[in-house]
Structure 1
Amino acid sequence: MTYSFKTFLKFKDCLQFIALWVAAFFFYVFISYSIIDDSYFLNQGFSTTDFLKSELTRALSIGIFMGILFFLLKEYVYPRFFHNYGILVASLLQSLLFIMVCYIGFIIVLELSKVNYIRINNLIALRFNAKWLTCFTIYCLIVHLFITLLLAFRQRLGSNYCKSLLHGNYMTPVVEYRIFMFVDMYPSRTSAEVKHHHYSQLLQECFADLSEILLGYNAEVYQYAGDGVILTWKVKQGFKRQQCIELSEVFAVRLLQKKDFYQNQFGLVPRFKAVLNEGLVTVAEIGQIKTEIAYHGDVLSTTARVRDLCSDCDENLLITQSFFEQLTIAEQDDFTAIETTVLRGKKKAVVIYKFNG
């Protein structure tokens, strides 16, 4: 993933947070307006239109401020201090820290207004009293807690999984054409060389490095299984299969760039094997106590069988004939057929290709 793409993703997150906070304060304004009696406007000497204009402008300003502040804290502060806590405790602590920082910002704004460095609308100043501050604080805590929990669950479940659940896309089984990549650590003796606790930390580091790359190649995480991960792409018009190959290369390069870190931390430099295959699968949401979007089809079982050949061939990347046939002629030149074999549990022979890079 290039630096510019990382910047774009951060900018996109920042805009999303701003939009969420602005929407929350617009809702707050309309709730406030609905419970204010008309006599209030007569006593204060302004019309309802002036009130709404002023309040919505204030909501927009505060929403932008809150969104940017939330982004900065989430990006640079929360990961350092709250990564070892559970979702609920971390969300509560983050919400309290957020409110503290917000109040510091508001105090600075008020003090600057007193010495005429900046001017704030009189309607804003009228609201700074104990009752308003209490309601405002509780509301901000609820909004922050909601957004934080939403982001935490989206991160753990995956954004595409959450979208599919919300839309109900797979309540009824659907047939899709997909590409699957099985990525597994090898050799198998790696787990024997590292203690269980350190081995789990090793996998955390490796998959953290992989996660930073995935968005740049539009890959979805289907499952983490043992010391491997299954990635998938939904094939649409104009889909470029080269990005699947590049993902494997970039991940291998990333691990080599951090080889000193891995060697010092775990006593080894991890290597991963990858297999690419494609075809029709049935997608369905299954389970009652725990729901999951599952893929069923011969594509997955074939990919799993080919994965076992990676170690035997000492190859980092293998592809099936189904994937190879969809590549352009120029892309096919990067691969060489290594064998034609009948995979375990299969009757028809398949051609396996290795990457020449």
Structure 2
Amino acid sequence: MINLLLLVFTFSFLLLFGELFTSIMYDKGLIFQKEISFRSIFIFLCYCIVIGTFINSIFQLKDILGPELFSSILKGNYHHPKEEDRIFMFLDLNNSTSIAEEIGHTQYSKFIQQTFKTITDSIANNDASIYQYVGDEVVLTWNTEHGIQDNKCVQVFYDIKKAIEKRRDYFMNNFGNLPTFKAGIHTGIVSSIQIGIIKKEIAYHGDVLNATARIQSECKNLGVPILISNSLSKKIGLKLPPLAEIKLRGRKSLMKLYTV
């Protein structure tokens, strides 16, 4: 709405007062400025509203999908299934059930809203796309090549912690709780495609997502806030001894897990 009002104001200002400025460069002014009438102003404002609404809708769609998915959809990349090498992070809010019971479901909804609002800049600054919000959990994804640059796929977790810490007083004063997260991160090949008719979205399919969810669930068992799979640790050059080895459903081999 702000973008729309700004656009209407700017164009209206130029239309009504442009002659004052253009006369400095053109003695006779611009032709259309000599024919201003109530009808022409009304038509021009309607035009600005239509164009402004369209531009504002594009920005809103970009915010909903995220920059990466938005540009991919414009290019038509997801009309047919395609394989991608991607990183996924399952970011889960700690103690969500107890917090909801303590503050009530209405306040809890506001708590979740403000939490996700607080971490948005950290997500955007690390070039992550938000794949899904699932209750108190958010799933982030990167193209693997981009996600491992400067270890963005790991750095985002610590940037989120810093962002929340900066709003500690707000959360404690309003909710009596400070949001904290646990995260599992994994990488691999997935199939991606655009699904839905009335409500469209990009869906990813593959064992990578199931494995990432399982890795995240191990955080609580191992008492650490973040776990990284062996395949991702190799790509980002993590040189630490594995914290644990787990057997994923449907797999015979064990997967090594690391924390940072």
TM-score (norm. length: structure 1): 0.65
Q: Does 1:212 align with 2:117?
A: no
Q: How does 1:324-343 map to 2 (within 5 A)?
A: 324-328=233-237, 332-333=238-239, 335-343=240-248
Q: Indicate conservation of the 8 Å contact 2:65/2:130, yes or no.
A: no
Q: Indicate conservation of the 8 Å contact 1:187/1:311, yes or no.
A: no
Identity of aligned residues (%): 29
Larger gyration radius, structure 1 or structure 2: 1
Q: Indicate conservation of the 8 Å contact 2:242/2:257, yes or no.
A: yes
Q: How does 1:27-106 map to 2 (within 5 A)?
A: 73-74=2-3, 94-95=4-5, 99=8, 103=12
1:314 corresponds to which residue?
223
2:254 corresponds to which residue?
349
Q: In the alignment, which of 113, 131, 134 is matched to residue 225 of structure 1?
A: 134
Q: How does 1:182-197 map to 2 (within 5 A)?
A: 182-188=90-96, 189-197=98-106
2:63 corresponds to which residue?
155
2:35 corresponds to which residue?
127
The separation in 1 between residues aligned to 2:207 and 2:30, in whole angstroms, is 68
Q: In the alignment, which of 260, 274, 287 is matched to residue 183 of structure 2?
A: 274
The alpha carbon displacement at 1:131 in A equals 3.1
The separation in 2 between residues aligned to 1:266 and 1:327, in whole angstroms, is 37
Higher percent of residues as strand: 2
Q: Indicate conservation of the 8 Å contact 2:22/2:30, yes or no.
A: no
Q: Indicate conservation of the 8 Å contact 1:281/1:296, yes or no.
A: yes
Q: In the alignment, which of 196, 199, 203 is matched to residue 290 of structure 1?
A: 199
Decide whether aligned partners of structure 1 residues 254 and 352 sit closer, same or farther in structure 2, where only a CA change above 3 A counts: same
The alpha carbon displacement at 1:197 in A equals 1.5
| C-alpha RMSD of matched pairs (Å) | 2.8
Code of the residue aligned with 1:342 in structure 2: it is: K
Query: 3-state SS of the aligned residue for 2:145?
Result: coil
1:247 corresponds to which residue?
156
The separation in 2 between residues aligned to 1:302 and 1:176, in whole angstroms, is 16
- The CA deviation string for residues 94-153 of structure 1, in whole angstroms up to 9 with x for no partner, is 55x754575456555557889x8x967142431322332222122111111111222223
Query: 3-state SS of the aligned residue for 1:326?
Result: helix
The separation in 1 between residues aligned to 2:248 and 2:21, in whole angstroms, is 74
Q: Indicate conservation of the 8 Å contact 2:85/2:144, yes or no.
A: yes
Decide whether aligned partners of structure 1 residues 309 and 241 sit closer, same or farther in structure 2, where only a CA change above 3 A counts: farther
Query: 3-state SS of the aligned residue for 2:191?
Result: strand
Structure 1 unmatched runs, 5+: 1-69, 75-93
Q: In the alignment, which of 136, 153, 159 is matched to residue 44 of structure 2?
A: 136
Decide whether aligned partners of structure 1 residues 244 and 122 sit closer, same or farther in structure 2, where only a CA change above 3 A counts: closer
2:81 corresponds to which residue?
173
Decide whether aligned partners of structure 1 residues 102 and 286 sit closer, same or farther in structure 2, where only a CA change above 3 A counts: closer
Q: Indicate conservation of the 8 Å contact 1:305/1:344, yes or no.
A: no
The separation in 1 between residues aligned to 2:200 and 2:249, in whole angstroms, is 31
Q: Indicate conservation of the 8 Å contact 1:339/1:351, yes or no.
A: yes
Q: Indicate conservation of the 8 Å contact 1:186/1:311, yes or no.
A: no
- The CA deviation string for residues 297-354 of structure 1, in whole angstroms up to 9 with x for no partner, is 11110110111111222211110111112222xxx24x44221122355432111112
Provide runs of 4+ in structure 1 moved above 6 Å.
111-114
Code of the residue aligned with 1:139 in structure 2: it is: Y
The alpha carbon displacement at 1:244 in A equals 1.3
The separation in 2 between residues aligned to 1:238 and 1:309, in whole angstroms, is 22
The alpha carbon displacement at 1:175 in A equals 0.9
Q: Indicate conservation of the 8 Å contact 2:62/2:70, yes or no.
A: yes
1:18 corresponds to which residue?
none
Decide whether aligned partners of structure 1 residues 179 and 122 sit closer, same or farther in structure 2, where only a CA change above 3 A counts: closer
Count residues with an aligned counterpart.
259
Decide whether aligned partners of structure 1 residues 239 and 306 sit closer, same or farther in structure 2, where only a CA change above 3 A counts: closer
Q: Indicate conservation of the 8 Å contact 1:170/1:293, yes or no.
A: yes
Decide whether aligned partners of structure 1 residues 312 and 241 sit closer, same or farther in structure 2, where only a CA change above 3 A counts: farther
- The CA deviation string for residues 50-73 of structure 1, in whole angstroms up to 9 with x for no partner, is xxxxxxxxxxxxxxxxxxxx9xx4
Higher percent of residues as helix: 1
The separation in 1 between residues aligned to 2:67 and 2:28, in whole angstroms, is 39
Q: Indicate conservation of the 8 Å contact 2:224/2:259, yes or no.
A: yes
Q: Indicate conservation of the 8 Å contact 2:130/2:140, yes or no.
A: yes
